[in-house]
């Protein structure tokens, strides 16, 4: 937990915080349990780290549980992730049974807590079957999907749909992702915590220390992509863009990533990235520990342009983080990146390494444009993607789920 509500007031204004308190009064004392499959790494864990303590501060009895899984379980759920984002993957029956069994085992020690909760929020497919293993549930169960499901591989989605259709509601990041469901669907794009170690202001000496730590040249422009080593983030495409742009302008590239504990493919992609980087001493491939938040923060401040050249992206918190630091973003024209990178205003949307290279060259040549886009980017995040907006929407949704059949809801 990085800040209290009063500290956020200094950034977003007192009114916004007052509004949150007013909404939360209708939910005081409610027991809310969030469940996902990793405590560190990736956007979901990032959000739960602040969401749960802030709900507590608002008077809700909120907690966060992480399910355990073995290697085949995470292999299976990674295949779900790939399939939901459009890859045609066939998942053997044995892995699917293992996935269900693993949830059954987790339900054994979570059951009491989950069945007695007023709200259970299940994040992504990993813990989705828990619902079926809690037959005496008393509260409302909400499935929160963080993945880009705009064009899922149908056979896998059909299987997962069986596990999620029984929920009382579902939340999706974007309208394009929301799949038809027999329950109410809510759209809530994610957001960031401006006071976290990842996003707060840093003293200049600390930023410079990170520059020296990784041997980055202060004289030459730099582009940075922070991401798990995942093919959907297209790190190899970023290297191609860098190589194309560097023919015309001096440049350094930082590709920094760590591994989420629920992502077994990372090592393979990391090896591909190393190979593509061809021992170029201006390509810095950094494997960061999961808690290197201040390092990520500093890299996002050191860069001239932030890159997030994903080919699929649920939302792209790294985009929000860089924009909050006043950086224009060159982002893949996909998923949640489109919600944040407003073409020609907060950055550029691109579809190919060639397109990315062209925009890199353009922005490095037109520094005034680069700065203006950076200013707009920060303002855009202030207005749309800070945690207070997210919290407001969550509280409103919870009230709506509780009162859905009532004609009048008194707040």
CB 167, CB 141: distance < 8 Å: yes
191 binds ligand UDP (CB under 6 A): no
Asked whether the beta carbons of 378 and 323 are under 8 A apart, the reply is yes
Q: Which region, judged by CB under 6 A, interacts with ligand UDP, from 11-19, 98-106, 253-261, 337-345?
A: 253-261
Q: How far is the CB of 227 from ligand UDP (least distance, A)?
A: 6
Contacting range for ligand UDP; rule: CB under 6 A; set: 132-140, 223-231, 348-356, 396-404: 223-231
DSSP assignment string, 355-407? HHHHHHHHHHH-HHHHHHHHHHHHHHHHHHSBHHHHHHHHHHHHHHHHTTT-S
CB atoms inside a 10 Å sphere around CB 190: 22
**Taking the complex as a whole, how short is the minimal distance between the CB of residue 250 and ligand UDP, in angstroms?**
26
Any idea which residue has 């860098």 for tokens?
242
Cβ 20 to ligand UDP shortest distance, Å? 23
Out of 83, 317, 364, 397, point to the residue binding ligand UDP (CB under 6 A): 317
Tokens of 358: 């062209």
Sheet containing strand 329-332, strands side by side: 283-287, 252-257, 222-226, 305-308, 329-332, 347-350
CA 210 to chain centre: 24
Q: Which stretch binds ligand UDP (CB under 6 A): 41-49, 72-80, 105-113, 238-246?
A: 41-49
Residues 119 and 24: their CA atoms lie apart, in Å, by 14
Which residues ranging from 353 to 392 are in contact with ligand UDP (CB under 6 A)?
none
CB of 260 to ligand UDP, least distance (A): 6
Q: Does 321 bind ligand UDP (CB under 6 A)?
A: yes
Query: Which of 12, 37, 46, 254 is close enough to bind ligand UDP by CB under 6 A?
Result: 46
- Window of 66-74, 135-143, 254-262, 366-374 that interacts with ligand UDP by CB under 6 A: 254-262
Binding-site member from 153, 172, 270, 315 for ligand UDP (CB under 6 A): 315
DSSP-derived secondary structure for 170-221: EEESSGGGPPP-SS-EEE----B-TTSTTTS---HHHHHHHHHHTT--TTS-
Nearest residue (CB) to ligand UDP, 163 versus 312: 312
Which residues are near ligand UDP by CB under 6 A?
42-43, 46, 198, 226-228, 256-258, 288, 293, 296, 315-318, 321
């Amino acid at each position: 937990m990085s800040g209290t509500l009063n500290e956020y007031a200094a950034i977003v204004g007192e009114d916004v915080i007052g509004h949150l308190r007013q909404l939360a009064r209708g939910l005081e004392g409610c027991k809310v349990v969030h469940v996902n499959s990793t405590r560190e790494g990736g956007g979901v864990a990032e959000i739960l780290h602040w969401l749960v303590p802030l709900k507590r501060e608002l008077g809700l009895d909120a907690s966060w549980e992480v399910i355990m899984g073995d290697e085949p379980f995470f292999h299976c759920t990674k295949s779900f992730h790939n399939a939901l984002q459009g890859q045609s993957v066939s998942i053997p029956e044995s892995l699917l049974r293992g996935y269900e069994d693993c949830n059954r085992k987790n339900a054994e020690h979570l059951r009491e807590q989950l069945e007695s909760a007023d709200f259970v929020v299940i994040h992504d497919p990993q813990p989705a079957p828990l619902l079926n293993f809690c037959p005496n549930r008393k509260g409302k169960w909400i499935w929160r999907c963080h993945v880009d499901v705009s064009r899922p591989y149908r056979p896998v989605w059909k299987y997962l749909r069986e596990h999620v259709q029984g929920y009382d509601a579902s939340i999706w990041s974007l309208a394009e992702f929301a799949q038809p469901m027999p329950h109410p669907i809510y759209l809530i794009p994610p957001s960031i915590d401006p006071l976290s170690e990842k996003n707060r202001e840093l003293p200049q000496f600390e930023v410079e220390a990170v520059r020296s730590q990784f041997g980055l040249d202060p004289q030459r422009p730099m582009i940075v992509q922070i991401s798990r080593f995942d093919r959907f983030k297209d790190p190899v495409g970023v290297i191609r863009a860098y190589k194309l742009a560097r023919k015309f302008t001096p440049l350094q590239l930082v590709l920094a990533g760590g591994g989420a504990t629920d992502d077994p493919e990372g090592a393979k992609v990391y090896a591909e990235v190393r190979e593509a980087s061809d021992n170029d001493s201006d390509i810095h491939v950094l494997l960061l520990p999961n808690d290197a938040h201040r390092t990520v923060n500093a890299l996002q401040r050191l860069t001239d342009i932030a890159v997030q050249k994903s080919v699929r992206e649920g939302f792209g918190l790294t985009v929000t983080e860089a924009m909050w630091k006043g950086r224009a973003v060159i982002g893949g024209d996909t998923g949640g990146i489109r919600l944040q990178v407003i073409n020609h205003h907060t950055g550029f949307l691109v579809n190919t390494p060639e397109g990315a290279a062209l925009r890199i060259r353009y922005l490095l040549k037109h520094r005034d444009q680069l700065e203006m886009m950076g200013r707009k980017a920060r303002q855009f995040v202030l207005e749309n993607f800070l945690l207070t907006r997210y919290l407001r929407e969550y509280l409103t949704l919870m009230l709506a789920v509780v009162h859905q059949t009532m004609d009048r809801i008194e707040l």
